[in-house]
Chain A
Amino acid sequence: MVIAIVPAFNEEETISEVITRLQPFVDKVIVIDDGSRDATVERAVAAGAEVLRHQINRGQGAALETGRIAALKLFALQSDSGSSTLRLGSLQPGSGSSTDIIITFDADGQFNAEEIPALLAPIKAGECDVVLGSRFLRQLSSPLEGEAGRGLSGLSLSDSQSERAQDAKYGEAGRDLVSADKKSDIPPLRRLLLKSALIFTRLTTGLRITDTHNGFRAFSRGAAEKIHITQDKMAHASEILERIAQSGLKYKEVPVTIKYTEYSLGKGQKLGDFIKILKDLFWGKML
């Protein structure tokens, strides 16, 4: 079972479309309404998502954690009912863990749901526990994979090499997808901030990844059980990476497209947000 969890705060403009685009690729969409004051809830329900409601705004990290708990509950309920109605197919060893996957997805329409199969594939194939979307990947190298705590080497593939690697991994469609984006029209200031976050993450967790604040991720059920989020606000992205490092989960980055629209830019992170993240991380350590 694949469940998409979508934290949403005042996203009435985009939520319906995001849900409709997700539905063909996942079994269930759970929207966590984080205290929206607009029609987000009504539209999400109308679009066919399951909606959990935070009565007051607690932040994206808090919403993701609520979604994670709900998804794990669903997995548990599903495997319970699976055992009462015996089906041979479901009795294969380990089948539960490799097919139960949680996707995190933003509600502002920045991500492309068609890229979900590329995020699911490595987990389904048993290659890793966590797949992280990266908007910078192609510019640096072919998809990075690693095991937390172990460094990576050989990052500098040439463009044509990495293109071939993409080809091998995702076939024709994957290549189209890669060439369509990656010059990703990322505004310069944002690019600088994202790069600093990258260095920060490398220093604090030892994870050598190319995009630290990308909300497009996939977790195996086993991984999701270990990645418990306590950072309510934006610092959860760094916290998730920390948990991956601490638990020694196998992860892999996969290139994804981010569409910077005026709408999503207005919602995205600015310099002040990065300072807030650092502050939250500091206080998180003090608790």
Chain B
Amino acid sequence: MFIKYFLILLILLIISRVVLRWKEKSLNTREFVFWLLFWLAAGAVALQPDWTGIIAERLGIGRGADLIVYLSLVAIFYLLFRIQIQQKKTEREITKIVRKISLDDEQIKF
């Protein structure tokens, strides 16, 4: 059961970071509440792995571990999607800057 205590320690550490970042205002309250609940839930699952089994059964998924894997996949895909969009936006911004420089320094004679 070493892994259980290790996970709990890790989660406590993360929660302390979350609180710290909220205090120094780099997280707003909404984000703070989201991450606090997220890591508390993770802590609960670490303490009582059976709980995921109960939820999984209600959702028609065999095991609690499967539920976690499915949820993680959904989260990862969503995150990838967000990152892609962010990256495309950044690319467009770069193009705008490059274009601005090229037009500003134009030597076109009339």
A interface residues with partner B (beta carbon < 8 Å): 30, 32, 50-56, 58-59, 62, 65-66, 69-70, 73-74, 77-78, 81, 230, 232, 283-284, 286-287
Residues of chain B lying within 8 A (CB to CB) of residue A58: 94-95, 98-99
B85 touches A232 (CB 8 A): no
Known: A56-B94, A66-B103, A232-B95. 16 other contacts (CB 8 A): A50-B107, A50-B108, A52-B108, A53-B105, A54-B102, A55-B102, A74-B108, A74-B110, A283-B84, A283-B85, A284-B88, A286-B85, A286-B88, A287-B85, A287-B89, A287-B92
Nearest neighbor of B105 in chain A, beta-carbon distance = A53
In residues 37-95 of chain B, which contact A (Cβ within 8 Å)? 84-85, 88-89, 91-92, 94-95
**A56-B98 contact, Cβ under 8 Å, with A70-B108, A232-B91:** yes
Closest 6 CB pairs of A and B: A50-B108, A52-B102, A62-B95, A58-B95, A66-B99, A54-B98
Nearest neighbor of B88 in chain A, beta-carbon distance = A283
Task: Indicate whether B109 reaches chain A with its CB closer than 8 angstroms.
Answer: yes
Q: Report how many A-B pairs have Cβ atoms within 8 Å.
A: 59
30 contacting pairs across A/B (C-beta < 8 A): A30-B108, A32-B102, A50-B109, A51-B107, A52-B103, A52-B106, A52-B108, A53-B105, A54-B98, A54-B99, A55-B98, A55-B102, A56-B94, A56-B98, A58-B94, A58-B98, A65-B99, A66-B99, A66-B103, A69-B99, A70-B103, A74-B110, A77-B110, A78-B110, A81-B110, A232-B92, A232-B95, A283-B88, A286-B84, A287-B89
Nearest neighbor of A283 in chain B, beta-carbon distance = B88
Residues of chain A lying within 8 A (CB to CB) of residue B102: 32, 52-55, 66
Task: Indicate whether B101 reaches chain A with its CB closer than 8 angstroms.
Answer: yes
Whole-angstrom distance between the alpha carbons of A51 and B106 in the complex? Answer: 8
CB of B100, distance to nearest CB on chain A (Å): 9
Nearest neighbor of A66 in chain B, beta-carbon distance = B99
Residues of chain B lying within 8 A (CB to CB) of residue A283: 84-85, 88
Nearest neighbor of B108 in chain A, beta-carbon distance = A50
Residues of chain A lying within 8 A (CB to CB) of residue B95: 58-59, 62, 232
CB of B46, distance to nearest CB on chain A (Å): 36
Whole-angstrom distance between the alpha carbons of A66 and B103 in the complex? Answer: 8
Residues of chain B lying within 8 A (CB to CB) of residue A78: 110
Residues of chain B lying within 8 A (CB to CB) of residue A284: 88
Whole-angstrom distance between the alpha carbons of A287 and B85 in the complex? Answer: 7
Nearest neighbor of A33 in chain B, beta-carbon distance = B102
Whole-angstrom distance between the alpha carbons of A30 and B92 in the complex? Answer: 23
Whole-angstrom distance between the alpha carbons of A59 and B101 in the complex? Answer: 16
CB of A65, distance to nearest CB on chain B (Å): 7
Residues of chain A lying within 8 A (CB to CB) of residue B108: 30, 50, 52, 70, 74
Whole-angstrom distance between the alpha carbons of A230 and B99 in the complex? Answer: 12
CB of A229, distance to nearest CB on chain B (Å): 10
A230 touches B92 (CB 8 A): yes
CB of A252, distance to nearest CB on chain B (Å): 30
Whole-angstrom distance between the alpha carbons of A55 and B108 in the complex? Answer: 17
A62 touches B85 (CB 8 A): no
Whole-angstrom distance between the alpha carbons of A180 and B64 in the complex? Answer: 71
Q: Point out which of B88, B102, B106 has the most chain A C-beta atoms below 10 A from its C-beta.
A: B102
Residues of chain B lying within 8 A (CB to CB) of residue A66: 99, 102-103
